Amino acid sequence: MDKKLHIIGGGMAGSEAAWQAAEMGVPVVLHEMRPAVGTFAHRTGHFAEMVCSNSFRSDDDERNAVGLLHWEMGAAGGLIMETARAHRLPAGGALAVDRDPFAEAVTARLLAHPLISAEYGEIAELPVEGNWIIATGPLTSGALAQSIRAETGAESLAFFDAIAPIVYAESVDMSVAWMQSRYDKGETEEEQTAYMNCPMDREQYYAFIDALLAADKTEFHEGETAGYFDGCLPIEVMAERGRETLRFGPMKPVGLTNPHTGVKPYAVVQLRRDNKLGTLYNIVGFQTKMKYGAQTDVFKMIPGLHEASFARLGGIHRNTFINSPTLLDAQMRLKSRPNIRFAGQVTGVEGYVESAAMGLLAGRMAAAELLGREVSPPPPDTAMGALITHITGGAEAKTFQPMNVNFGLFPPIDAKGGRKGRKDRYKAYTDRAKESFQAWLAAM
């Protein structure tokens, strides 16, 4: 039996996976197509190139979910986090890094490892034999993407993400919004009350349309094509087509009755449950290219969302990712071909840190399997555990879209002892996570 681990893609996830597996004593071959075959976003042939911003976001491991992920990766001996800290730039509470020396250092560490070798060139087909991790990222080459698609089915591989904003359920004002499915559809009461509804009168609707049309938007990156189809047009594009378009589209008020006032709304914004825990709701049909600042301003105009907190804002990007909740098992293996794991952004997490974290887990799981052991996923009350639980089953498969780490993915904290302030609650999440994560590491 081939005891080597092959990893396709030397980005954030592939680099971390290679390091973890090699540190556990498993020989690794890291396959990277750059520099011979490039992408529109990468500039160099280095491993772990940061394609856009040079920030790993908040480094606050007490009150921020991504900061907690930094901490967990550090505790697990993560190469990406260690190297990022070594090349840190001043950036307030964020972990910003000097991108080229960072990528050069990751590359040098990997190539110097006695158990890691690199092979350069595009892998165009899903491998049949051996043990593999696919970590080819949002810009997976076209040939490999087609091969993945042939295995998983066209429905299970996306080439764009059209992300609607996601709101923390607890931040919606339910004295304004109410729970109801259109025409009370559904067999059970849970189904009949599956959506949150935010009503607008005539004046509020037109003010909202005006704000949408005036808001700052981002352009597609060079090399990206808009490629959006009618099913997922940005809301501002719908609004440009006519001031009534949204009222006959995602904001139609039919089949909904406002129990607070009894008045028929002129338009309704609907939010749909986004995770099994019911802590997150996405705004239905609200994918957008508005800039982040503009999004919060415009979405907070929606009655019921004046005080909303967003777990993530909307966007439309070139992004290849699989429908992990249906395709992967809890060990990140492709159910139909368990010799292949997926890791990184291609699994439907989003961001440098989240991708590297999923690489860390996939590397450890694959190496353990080759060594005749099994590594269980970290508990869901840790940042890594919350993310892997989300992508391998916690998320709604039908509406699966890439996800950043956030506290909405964690099992809610028991708030005994009275209502805690948000900051204290986040600290309680991170305290609980650190204890759990240490126990998980110790049991490995």
| Residues annotated within a binding site | 9-14
Q: How many CA atoms lie within 13 A of 280 on its CB side?
A: 27
Mark 349-388 with x for binding to ligand FAD (rule: CB under 6 A) and - for no binding: --xx--x---------------------------------
CA 43 to chain centre: 24
Angstrom CA distances, 390 to 26, 53, 292, 377, stand at 28, 25, 24, 12
**Do 42 and 51 meet the contact criterion of CB atoms below 8 Å apart?**
yes
- Residue closer to ligand FAD, measured from CB, 169 or 358: 358
- Per rule CB under 6 A, is residue 66 in the interface with ligand FAD? no
Question: What's the distance, Cα to Cα, between the start and end of the chain in Å?
Answer: 24
Q: Nearer to ligand FAD by C-beta: 337 or 432? A: 337
Residue with smallest beta-carbon separation from ligand FAD:
11
* Pick 106 or 302: Cβ nearer ligand FAD: 106
The number of beta carbons lying within 10 Å of the beta carbon of residue 431 is 12
Name the strand (E) or helix (H) holding 433.
helix 422-442
**Per-residue x/- track, 192-231, ligand FAD (CB under 6 A):** -----------------------------x----------
CB 295, CB 313: distance < 8 Å: yes
**Are the C-beta atoms of 17 and 133 separated by less than 8 Å?**
yes
100 lies in the binding site for ligand FAD (CB under 6 A): no
Residue from 169, 165, 235 nearest 401 by CA: 165
Angle at the Cα of 319 from the Cα atoms of 317 and 322, rounded to 5 degrees? 140
Please tell me whether residue 8 binds ligand FAD under the rule CB under 6 A: yes
> Hey, which residues between 137 and 166 contact ligand FAD (CB under 6 A)?
137-141, 144
Q: Which residues are annotated as a binding site for FAD?
A: 9-14
Collapsed DSSP state (helix, strand, coil) of residue 375 = coil
| 29 or 41: CB nearest ligand FAD | 41
By CB under 6 A, which span of 3-11, 63-71, 254-262, 407-415 interacts with ligand FAD?
3-11
Contact 347, 405 (CB under 8 A): no
Residue type, 333: R
- The CB-of-393 to ligand FAD minimum distance in angstroms stands at 20
CB of 376 to ligand FAD, least distance (A): 23
- Neighbour count for residue 280 (Cβ, 10 Å): 25
Contact status: 123 vs ligand FAD (CB under 6 A): yes
CB of 16: closest distance to ligand FAD in angstroms?
A: 8
Q: How far is the CB of 83 from ligand FAD (least distance, A)?
A: 14
3-state helix, strand, coil in the chain (%, to 5): 40, 20, 45
CA distance 338 to 366: 11
Shortest separation between residue 194's beta carbon and ligand FAD, angstroms: 31
Q: Which residues pair with 349 in a beta bridge?
A: 403
> Considering the rule CB under 6 A, would residue 20 count as an interface residue with ligand FAD?
no
Please work out the total of residues on this chain that contact ligand FAD, with binding judged by CB under 6 A: 35
Nearer to ligand FAD among residue 128 and residue 443 (C-beta): 128
SS (H, E, C) 111-144: HHCCCEEEEECCCCCCCCCCEEEECCCCCCCHHH
Shortest distance, position 210 Cβ to ligand FAD, whole Å:
30
31 binds ligand FAD (CB under 6 A): yes
157-163 and 315-322 strand pairing:
antiparallel
If one asks whether residue 289 binds ligand FAD (CB under 6 A), the answer comes out as: no
Closest contact distance (angstroms) between CB of 249 and ligand FAD is 28
Q: How far is the CB of 246 from ligand FAD (least distance, A)?
A: 28
Tell whether residue 9 is a contact of ligand FAD (CB under 6 A): yes
Which residues bind to ligand FAD, rule: CB under 6 A? 8-14, 31-34, 39, 41-42, 51-53, 122-123, 135-141, 144, 221, 318, 344-346, 351-352, 355
